[in-house]
A and B are shown apart, each in its own frame.
Chain A
């Protein structure tokens, strides 16, 4: 089976991304990495082709530096990469990104598209499902386990009480959570082979898309810092201790 994994190059996941004057994430001249969430999707894809045969192709859209994300995934064991890189794509919103990715996926036969749940920088969490919609694929989201049998994708989706089993006929799209099996570390051989693996570079024209069709439909108009977590309340032992605790629990709607 042919698995396409959508991957993203994000600024250092441990740090706080910087924003420019237009509220766009600064991507040039910063340290970055393959989004750690996407590594789970790569791992899931590798496991599926190890069982069923086939290839894992990584697909990314991003500036030149984004090739580092492909290289990381290739060193984990993915077979090929596709890099959509075009200056006109700078600042693309989630919908434009999904259009580009869908157009790139469509270019060759595939059975399954995998993605992380959301990126650690943009965090919209909307791109995978939009890609599924554009490709008219069923989407099975938030998988902690995936399997394929007789042309049917089956995932386990954690819920508050346990998990749902969701099935979809292939071709399909699934998003993979961080409770799926841990991503593997690249072996030395994997690292050394990564550079020899094929990476196709595509521009917008190759995808038959025009910059106008990708004009943003969303725009960030303002930015507010998240409130710092306030100090907790310490309740001293005394006569009204119990009452104060009960009041707080009621206030938090626990009682």
Chain B
């Protein structure tokens, strides 16, 4: 498996970085984060560049690329702390909409923001695997129940809902403007990526997948989310490290730049080594998930565990290197730190992910298909 970046991927990275630097300077991100958390017009501008349809087929208005390119973009979006629904709309929901080409078109055009509702109150898909029931013993058919920690819920127009129906598990596309639906904002550390709780009381939905198809799809979506979040974490960490290096080069104490002191430079060198390891794991995870390879669940979990730790630790090192200014609200570092923490907490902490990887390796020797 050749994991090196292709010329096209490098161009995609360069162009994405240039666009994000020009259109999403950190001051703008800060004002969006401290305000509504989302700028719908801006999302349409991003969609017009083809980002929302990056991996949608060309006949649906997409760019026809794949998950590896999504992760290249993901690292750049992380670097910029992009405050838009790329994770939810593109990474978590688009593949579930394949059977509904009209919805794909809306999403690709940036007209519809979509998210995925599949977590229970513990934040785990596994605990109550499908928290929402479909067509239960109520007097009218529909979807009933609640889903928790739904990212970008407040701004979404559509949710792909995982529910347990009469015929087993299923996925439904649910428009969120129905009066059988209510939403509640949950307190979220990173205000560029807010979470909500979704309550359905007989909401109508369009069936997308049923039975084992639905289960497989959900597993694939989770692998995508883990690998993408890992890519984002590498972006967050890289930027936090750049800021620290810049500061260490220019800030002087005792007559020389603070980077000349070993306690500072060695800490930053360690951060660099961690980020590069994470970057390699992300490439592996992205390629595995793109190919839907047997090891993709392990690769995605490993990448997310390491990259999110690297991001949190790099932000902490960067804050220390910045000294007093790194602790202030005005300095952007706390925003990177919060994104890093959001990524680390979502869909499993590093220790949980490692426990799952270990269990899958130890309990099912030789079975590459064993789910993590």
Contact = CB atoms under 8 A, between A and B. Distances in A.
Interface of A: 71-72, 75, 185-189, 191-192, 194-195
B7 to A, nearest CB: 7
Contacts of B67: none
Contacts of B42: none
A185 B7 CA distance: 19
Interface string B1-35: 00000011001100100110000000000000000
A191 B12 contact: yes
Contacts of A72: 15
Interface of B: 7-8, 11-12, 15, 18-19, 48-51, 53-54, 63, 65
Contacts of B63: 187-189, 192
B101 to A, nearest CB: 19
A196 to B, nearest CB: 10
B18 to A, nearest CB: 8
B11 A75 contact: yes
Nearest to B51: A188
Contacts of B65: 188, 192
Contact of B8 (A185, A186, A187, A191): A191
Contact of B11 (A71, A185, A187, A189): A71
B12 A195 contact: no
Given A192-B63, A192-B65, A186 B7 contact: no
B50 A195 contact: no
Closest 3 CB pairs of A and B: A188-B50, A188-B63, A187-B50
Nearest to B54: A188
10 contacts: A71-B11, A72-B15, A185-B15, A187-B48, A187-B50, A188-B50, A189-B50, A189-B63, A191-B12, A192-B63
A101 B14 CA distance: 28
Contacts, number: 36
Contacts of A192: 8, 12, 63, 65
A191 B15 contact: yes
A104 B370 CA distance: 62
B15 A75 contact: yes
Given A185-B15, A189-B63, A195 B49 contact: no
A185 B50 contact: no
Given A187-B50, A188-B54, A189-B50, A194 B19 contact: no
Nearest to B6: A195
Given A195-B7, A195-B8, 4 more contacts: A185-B18, A188-B65, A189-B63, A192-B65
Contacts of A75: 11, 15
A93 to B, nearest CB: 31
A11 B19 CA distance: 19
A194 B53 CA distance: 18
Nearest to B11: A191
A170 B105 CA distance: 43
Contacts of B19: 185
A35 to B, nearest CB: 14
A188 B63 CA distance: 6
B108 to A, nearest CB: 11
Contacts of B49: 185-188
Contacts of A186: 15, 49
A72 B12 CA distance: 11
Contacts of A185: 15, 18-19, 49
Contacts of A194: 11
A75 B13 CA distance: 13
Nearest to A184: B49
Contacts of B50: 187-189
A231 to B, nearest CB: 22
Nearest to A33: B18
